[in-house]
Amino acid sequence: MKKLGFGLMRLPLIDPEDSKTIDLKRFEAMVDLFMAKGFTHFDTAYVYHGEQSERIFKECVVDRYPRESFTVTDKMPIYMVEKKEDLEEFFNRQLERCGVEYFDYYWMHALNASRYETCNEIDAFGFFQEKQKEGKIRHIGFSFHDSAEVLDNILSKEPCIEFVQLQINYLDWEDGNIQSRLCYEVARKHNKKIFIMEPVKGGTLAKLPEEAEAMLKSKNPQASIASWALRYAASLEDVVMVLSGMTEEWHLEDNIEIFENLQPLEEEDLTLLDQVVEIIKKDMKIACTACRYCVDGCPVSIAIPEYFAIYNRCIDLSNPDDPALREDFLNLTSKHGKPWECIECGQCEEQCPQFLPIIEDLKKISAIFKEESA
């Protein structure tokens, strides 16, 4: 397989404020270009796009292409599983939603220490192995958000695991929370092949501070800023797939160009990225990737990623009084819970794969904007 995988988490929308309103015509055209260029892998999950991603995958890929012409990864939402019987119910529902008889790759979704305990209690990996014997799963693995120590423990106890999906990008490589490098090294120690998610960190590494962008453009004027992050991920040994969530047509076109003639980064490129990381850290805002895992269980229906995006724009502009920002903020508060209505239940922070202090970050936003809505 070519190393670029189409992540079905950030598809084009008809209504940007409603993640369920996927623009089918645009997505179909993107699928057609993706496949025409020889790229064949898609990545979906039960919860993506308000539980619409699997259905859209069926409609735009499965119903339009021969099964042998593509591969797909789907994921068991272990955070929604309450008892062993739920595994069969979720799995069968996913096969039906996707319109396939088997999954090429099937992961435990967003595994961490506490979810691994759940897996043990209900013998979830035993269930995976049963489905593999039945021919309904070709390859077993999990996506992961926790420490390298936890990853080492899981891989030591689960010999059935063939692949791990890790968040790896040059900004998170040495991050103490994400631990990209340490997790990568653990996976290689256990001889596991690696899928990479968030190579551009939800778009964060596609638009950098001006000083950082100037440095990269000086080195390679023709290359997109995002290409540096994608090449970084694809250059790592034992990486077999780099997943990219592509919302706009030009995202897809740029990614295809990068991966059709993939040029691994050289040592001087890595040194340059080290300097870029230091610039980003000085200019660091809320490092939200808009994965939306925090939103579904919010008892007050706060649009957390959208508020964080407005806050980051505010920091970029150094002007909290910008009329467009204020208008966008008021529009959000008219449809969703307000940041200062947070009851600090903590469920969002438990779900956040970036380990963000969401409660405190919402307070920052409230301090800037609350008076506007008074």
pLDDT tens string 251-283: 999 999 999 989 999 999 999 999 999 999 887
**Same domain for 101 and 222?**
yes
pLDDT at residue 372 is higher than 70: no
Structural contact between residues 11 and 27, judged by C-beta atoms closer than 8 angstroms: yes
pLDDT at residue 373 is higher than 60: no
Our count of domains for the chain comes to 2
The whole-angstrom separation of Cα 213 and Cα 206 is 9
The whole-angstrom separation of Cα 350 and Cα 356 is 9
pLDDT at residue 42 is higher than 90: yes
**Same domain for 215 and 359?**
no
**Same domain for 115 and 71?**
yes
216: domain range?
A: 4-282
**Same domain for 202 and 351?**
no
The whole-angstrom separation of Cα 129 and Cα 108 is 12
27 part of a folded domain: yes
**Same domain for 137 and 223?**
yes
Residue 22 C-alpha from the chain's centroid: 17
Q: Which two tokens stand for residue 217?
A: 């453009």
**Same domain for 131 and 170?**
yes
Q: Which residue has the higher pLDDT, 180 or 328?
A: 180
**Same domain for 28 and 132?**
yes
- Mean of the per-residue pLDDT values of the chain: 94
241 part of a folded domain: yes
297 part of a folded domain: no
Residue 302 C-alpha from the chain's centroid: 20
Cα distances from 133 to residues 96, 104, 181, 326, 338, in angstroms, run 19, 13, 33, 56, 49
Structural contact between residues 195 and 5, judged by C-beta atoms closer than 8 angstroms: yes
**Same domain for 160 and 268?**
yes
pLDDT tens string 278-311: 999 887 788 888 898 899 889 999 999 999 888 8
Read off the pTM: 0.89
The whole-angstrom separation of Cα 12 and Cα 265 is 30
Domain at 127, CATH number: 3.20.20.100
pLDDT tens string 135-157: 999 999 999 999 999 999 999 99
14 part of a folded domain: yes
295 part of a folded domain: no
**Same domain for 346 and 276?**
no
Q: Which two tokens stand for residue 306?
A: 């959208």
- Among residues 282, 313, 330, which one ends one of the domains? 282
Other C-beta atoms within 10 Å of 223: how many?
A: 16
**Same domain for 166 and 244?**
yes
Q: What is the SS3 assignment for 75?
A: strand
298 part of a folded domain: no
11 part of a folded domain: yes
**Same domain for 104 and 54?**
yes
**Same domain for 309 and 243?**
no
pLDDT tens string 334-347: 989 999 999 999 99
Q: Which residue has the tokens 């001889």?
A: 191
220 part of a folded domain: yes
- Among residues 226, 252, 282, which one ends one of the domains? 282
